[in-house]
Structure 1
């Protein structure tokens, strides 16, 4: 068969196969065009899940009549004009492929009017065959109708799912875009019935309301507001607490310069940040926005623009991990998260401020029989010792680790956030009273976290001590990995690993971290090298160390059915308030919960 150019209609249909996967893909391209046109109100009408009709109407800048036919040509766009523009794209779209691709596989019509024009102009396309531009009536803005999607490509149409499924993808898409563009209004209708109306959110209160509309109260009441800036990067948004985790990754939204993306660097950084607080098999929830110079990120790596490539992936990874890790570490049972300082060179003060129902406010003491002074006196007389220290590692000999003697003084009439202990239930739970109502604490889970954090602090203070292997372990690796080991000896040694190149495709492990004696040194070294090559950093050593320390902390903590005195219970509550990540145990289970007086009254039908 001779080589010859393909017809334009076929070229567009091939492009449609890359860009248009399903009706939601069409909605994405059209809504993003409306956003780029400056629209403040975007209405989306869907019929039969998008198979019969997709109509997107906006109040943006519009398209002049003379440019309508050009807009339907491949690689025609107003968003870039030179290579420099492509390297600093800030618009949602830029390829100029969407409209001609969509028009080639549907019955397509566009009506548009610029504000200065006397009337609108309309243009129809049927399966790629373009009609004539005609005058029309339309307010300033643009309406695009896409009917009978894939009518002329029956093989593609057969791949469409049920109406409910296809509309669900469109609904999810509008939810995502509404989170990214809080200042715009999005209206969604299906088969003539209103489904969503995300009103423009001008204030922070309105943005939180939109967050609740999009993700539900379960997320909005259990998240931290995050803002951090440094090294030319700015991260802000909302970070779900471990208690807002999900059985699937369906509430994970990450935006780069306003563009929703999926990225391995981001996913890995977030996963590591949650590693110490999330229950096995659970997924974190978050809505996060990363802003950076557009020249530092390549958005031209995927036809649907859903993936990006960072110029300095290691810097982005470390910035994200550190910011999120510190935000989660700053949470303490009963407290608001602290506001850490912005990094050097930052122009925006960093803050982590939870907005969950009064979290972090100092409750007032209720009518309790055990006063602060009495608790302190009893505790210090029974358990304090000259060597006791809040930062000391718990003893790991026989029995449980001692509970800290460090108890901050409280002003008269005030109670700490977790209140004061009332009793112990079945040797498992501590019951306490604070200003809001009843506190329930899983004493073993809480003390396990306290012991674990102290062990980590003690280990971190002494650095990573190495021990030599009696016989070096030889490992076969790729030439790339051997080259890396030869140049990264100092970085590996800082992690407690002394590894040398022993051949073109082999290495020798000579020293490992003392705390990890007995581990599979070969697999550990391979995992660490792989992480360093791919991400520029690794937490394999720390994760394995933490796994061991978590086991030690579990055995060192108070066990179920051990009877505690009131001073011991109160000391445990104070330690929880002072310990990082004390809202969850080492395995991600919650350590405490609050039942407000309103909730208790509801249980007993009081006031009805």
Structure 2
């Protein structure tokens, strides 16, 4: 065939394949337009999973009559006009191809009215290149876009869609996710004339909690801590779930960059690393996070659907996210209040007072159903440390509380608590089954798994002791053949490799020599580890494999050194462990992510025995 130009209709239909994957894709594009128009009320009506009808009405600024035809034209937009605008995009939409792509594979009617206009104007399109003129319409200020018979003229695309129920499920999930990006916008969703979702603008703590509970469940409210951190002209705000409140799937993870809902491998990697030693093996964290960054430092034009972004300083963003979340989790300690307020991420109108409450039980919602894993199965063998006395380093704190100690539970005197001086985790009154510490607090009682708690205390102490990596020279250097890009990385990242404990130098275009390794890894396959690190750097720009292996070693050492179940603890030992927990970061979980303590309030105890009923 001879080379020939494609028709505008076919060009639009090809472009639609990138933008319009399914009905939910249409909803996303139209909602973003409504957000950009400044709407604070949006109505979404869906019929037959979006195949028959998608209608979105907003009360935004509206479109001029003269611009209606351009709104359906390809690459026509009011949001950018130059390359500089493209590099500083602050709006949700900007590519100017969504409406054109949608109208090429569906029947579209667009009605809009400016707030100062006498009437609205309507224009229609059905996939053909027909030059229609706007017609007057009795529409209130704002815009309504109705998309009917999606893929009516591209039946092959329609065959790839799922059932109406499945497609609507995608729409509902998307709307809930986008609802968390704009708390100041009210959203209503109907399916086949049945109202299924009605979210009012959330301008105070109560309505914010209601919206969060509607999208993520009420349990999220009870098991989340606020995150607010700023550095290097970036700010991270939002909520992260306590490690014990985790999921078997990644269905409760919401991340927004400048209010834009995104999925990004670098972001996912940073968050996973922040939870690395507090989350149970196959569990996934829960979070709603908002990253605010200079638009010039993030490329939102990386993909037509705008679900992916590209950071210009990827490693800086990764390290900032890791540090912010890691610190937030570290600050969660027994008795620390949980702040519940809307993050200040772009909505100046949403000034919300802070409210706080007591920290929930560290395992209130933990429901991991798997059996005890073999944590040593994937680790190399090394000398097993002897079990230390309990505790090994927390200091002589017992004397300070000696006058407050109660006699053993078997003695006749009733335990009493001096409430004015009672620590957060209370005082030990019994060692149950030589495994669990029972302590009385001002609010009720606490049960502590002594081994898990001591394991965490030791682990955090080991991490502080080994903060500076000790380098051990190799008797015989290891010569490695790598790719040229990997050898380039060895040169450019030499300082970072040294900080990790490796003396690795380039000896040729594709040859490097390893002369020293971290002392903790003297019996580890370090050659394979280095290859994995270089591969990570080439793929995503970051790697935490070395840190993970080092932490694994320390965690295993802490596990073997911690007091064993079955060993009887004295009252002083139990109380000293409780005091150490109160001062230890991430004390709510052991090194494997299992909870270390649970709490029962007086009200909980009363309910067990129907007191007051």
TM-score, normalization by structure 1: 0.88
1:235 aligned residue: 236
Q: CA deviation at 1:596?
A: 2.3
Q: Where in structure 1 do 4 or more consecutive aligned residues deviate above 6 Å?
A: 353-356
Spell out the pairing of 1:83-94 with structure 2 (5 A cutoff).
83-94=83-94
Q: Deviations over 1:573-600 (max 9, x none)?
A: 1111111111000001111111223333
2:348 aligned residue: none
Q: Distance in 2 between matches of 1:210 and 1:337?
A: 18
2:153 aligned residue: 152
SS of structure 1 residue aligned to 2:32? helix
Q: Distance in 2 between matches of 1:14 and 1:489?
A: 46
Q: CA deviation at 1:252?
A: 1.0
CA change 1:135–1:163 in 2 (3 A) is same
2:428 aligned residue: 421
Spell out the pairing of 1:203-222 with structure 2 (5 A cutoff).
203-222=204-223
Spell out the pairing of 1:536-551 with structure 2 (5 A cutoff).
537-551=542-556
Q: Deviations over 1:260-310 (max 9, x none)?
A: 111122111111111111110111111111111111111111000011111
Please tell me whether the aligned partners of residues 334 and 359 of structure 2 are also in contact (alpha carbons under 8 angstroms). Answer: no
Q: Distance in 1 between matches of 2:229 and 2:210?
A: 23
CA change 1:128–1:433 in 2 (3 A) is farther
Q: Deviations over 1:418-444 (max 9, x none)?
A: 122222222221122222222111111
Q: Deviations over 1:234-258 (max 9, x none)?
A: 1111111101211011111111111
2:303 aligned residue: 302
Q: CA deviation at 1:35?
A: 0.5
1:110 aligned residue: 110
Please tell me whether the aligned partners of residues 40 and 183 of structure 1 are also in contact (alpha carbons under 8 angstroms). Answer: yes
Q: CA deviation at 1:356?
A: 7.1
SS of structure 1 residue aligned to 2:513? strand
Q: CA deviation at 1:601?
A: 2.8
SS of structure 1 residue aligned to 2:429? strand
1:509 aligned residue: 514
2:69 aligned residue: 69
Spell out the pairing of 1:181-330 with structure 2 (5 A cutoff).
181-330=182-331
1:15 partnered with 2:15? yes
Please tell me whether the aligned partners of residues 550 and 586 of structure 1 are also in contact (alpha carbons under 8 angstroms). Answer: yes
Q: Deviations over 1:428-476 (max 9, x none)?
A: 211222222221111111111011111111112xx22121212111211
RMSD: 2.2
1:458 aligned residue: 465
Q: CA deviation at 1:334?
A: 3.4
Q: Distance in 2 between matches of 1:355 and 1:264?
A: 34
Please tell me whether the aligned partners of residues 401 and 556 of structure 1 are also in contact (alpha carbons under 8 angstroms). Answer: no
Q: Distance in 2 between matches of 1:569 and 1:165?
A: 54
SS of structure 2 residue aligned to 1:173? helix
Q: CA deviation at 1:195?
A: 0.8
Q: CA deviation at 1:337?
A: 7.6
Q: Deviations over 1:542-561 (max 9, x none)?
A: 22121111111111111111
2:391 aligned residue: 402
Q: Distance in 1 between matches of 2:278 and 2:78?
A: 47
Q: Distance in 1 between matches of 2:257 and 2:429?
A: 49
Long gaps (5+) in structure 1? 339-352, 362-394
CA change 1:237–1:398 in 2 (3 A) is closer
SS of structure 1 residue aligned to 2:153? coil
Please tell me whether the aligned partners of residues 448 and 556 of structure 1 are also in contact (alpha carbons under 8 angstroms). Answer: yes
2:175 aligned residue: 174
Please tell me whether the aligned partners of residues 338 and 359 of structure 2 are also in contact (alpha carbons under 8 angstroms). Answer: no
1:477 partnered with 2:467? no
Q: CA deviation at 1:202?
A: 1.2
Please tell me whether the aligned partners of residues 222 and 356 of structure 1 are also in contact (alpha carbons under 8 angstroms). Answer: no
Q: Deviations over 1:126-175 (max 9, x none)?
A: 23354431111111001111111111111111111111111111111111
TM-score, normalization by structure 2: 0.87
CA change 1:9–1:244 in 2 (3 A) is same
| Match 1:431 to one of 417, 438, 444 | 438
Q: Distance in 1 between matches of 2:74 and 2:7?
A: 12
- Paired residues in the alignment total 559
CA change 1:546–1:81 in 2 (3 A) is same
Q: Distance in 1 between matches of 2:79 and 2:544?
A: 42
SS of structure 2 residue aligned to 1:243? coil
1:556 aligned residue: 561
| Match 1:585 to one of 574, 581, 590 | 590
Q: Distance in 1 between matches of 2:388 and 2:289?
A: 44
SS of structure 1 residue aligned to 2:116? coil
1:494 aligned residue: 499
Mean CA deviation greater in 288-297 or 419-428: 419-428
1:444 partnered with 2:451? yes
Q: CA deviation at 1:529?
A: 3.1
Mean CA deviation greater in 13-22 or 532-541: 532-541
Q: CA deviation at 1:232?
A: 0.8
Q: CA deviation at 1:401?
A: 4.4
Please tell me whether the aligned partners of residues 498 and 511 of structure 1 are also in contact (alpha carbons under 8 angstroms). Answer: yes
Q: Distance in 1 between matches of 2:492 and 2:85?
A: 37
Q: Distance in 2 between matches of 1:406 and 1:94?
A: 64
Q: Distance in 2 between matches of 1:360 and 1:47?
A: 42
SS of structure 2 residue aligned to 1:509? strand
Q: CA deviation at 1:528?
A: 3.0
Please tell me whether the aligned partners of residues 391 and 576 of structure 2 are also in contact (alpha carbons under 8 angstroms). Answer: no
Q: Distance in 2 between matches of 1:282 and 1:447?
A: 23
Q: Distance in 2 between matches of 1:490 and 1:39?
A: 50
Q: CA deviation at 1:38?
A: 0.5
